Amino acid sequence: DQQVKQNSPSLSVQEGRISILNCDYTNSMFDYFLWYKKYPAEGPTFLISISSIKDKNEDGRFTVFLNKSAKHLSLHIVPSQPGDSAVYFCAASGLYNQGGKLIFGQGTELSVKP
Amino acid sequence: DARVTQTPRHKVTEMGQEVTMRCQPILGHNTVFWYRQTMMQGLELLAYFRNRAPLDDSGMPKDRFSAEMPDATLATLKIQPSEPRDSAVYFCASGMRAVDSYEQYFGPGTRLTVT
């Protein structure tokens, strides 16, 4: 039972265009969502997060949108750069989980072509 | 520049041998997580600690895996005996669990190959 799903294993985008990465979740108890970026041979690095009390959070070129009714979140990267090429994981957690446990999706590999 | 460190970075061992992986969390972080990444399962949580006490190790095969935090600066993950299906990248992460903080910071991982 996968509670966090990233249905697109890969995405290819031209440099300068928008990249949109999608994530769906099933557990309505989740109230905090995060995106991580992972380069080969490195650990995932925290990118951006959003609380369920918001529907949008922006940090530079990165914006995360949350649609609670659809149990869907997305990460927008504008403009995309070749250095953004990496695997992106979405993750979710909830206040019910006092330990701060994160549930990760399977990841989407983004390729930004010059 | 505070980082999570992990040793060794790579480990090749034969089936049946004991493997110990070590992690130094970021100073001041009160929560430590162990994850395993495989092609099939993605990032799966094995165990985690808060203030050095184990909170959840339900993701670990209990018969062969054990996780401990001897002190606040060291977390260990042991596999005994190791099996080829344990081959994966093992990540340690740490965080400062607060009411509205869920961010975790990952180490570079230990790539384990069991032959």
Q: What is the pLDDT of residue A29?
A: 87
**B100 → closest Cβ in A45, A51, A104:** A51
The Cα–Cα gap between B52 and A30 comes to 25
* pLDDT at B39 exceeding the cut of 80: no
Cα pseudo-dihedral B110, A47, B41, A93, rounded to 10: 120
B105 touches A: beta carbon within 8 Å: yes
In this prediction, residues B10-23 reach a mean pLDDT of: 97
* pLDDT at A1 exceeding the cut of 70: no
Residue B44: count of CB within 10 angstroms of its CB: 16
Q: What is the pLDDT of residue A102?
A: 86
Average pLDDT, chain A: 92
Residues of A with CB under 8 A from a CB of B: 32, 34, 36, 41-46, 49, 51, 89, 93, 98-107
Q: What is the pLDDT of residue B80?
A: 97
| pLDDT tens-place string over residues B77-95 | 999 999 999 999 999 999 8
| pLDDT tens-place string over residues A46-89 | 999 999 999 999 999 999 999 999 999 999 999 999 999 999 99
| pLDDT tens-place string over residues A32-47 | 999 999 999 899 999 9
| pLDDT tens-place string over residues B58-69 | 889 889 999 999
Nearest chain B residue (CA) to A94: B102
Average pLDDT, chain B: 91
The Cα–Cα gap between A11 and A87 comes to 10
**Residues forming beta bridges with residue B29, ordered by sequence position:** none
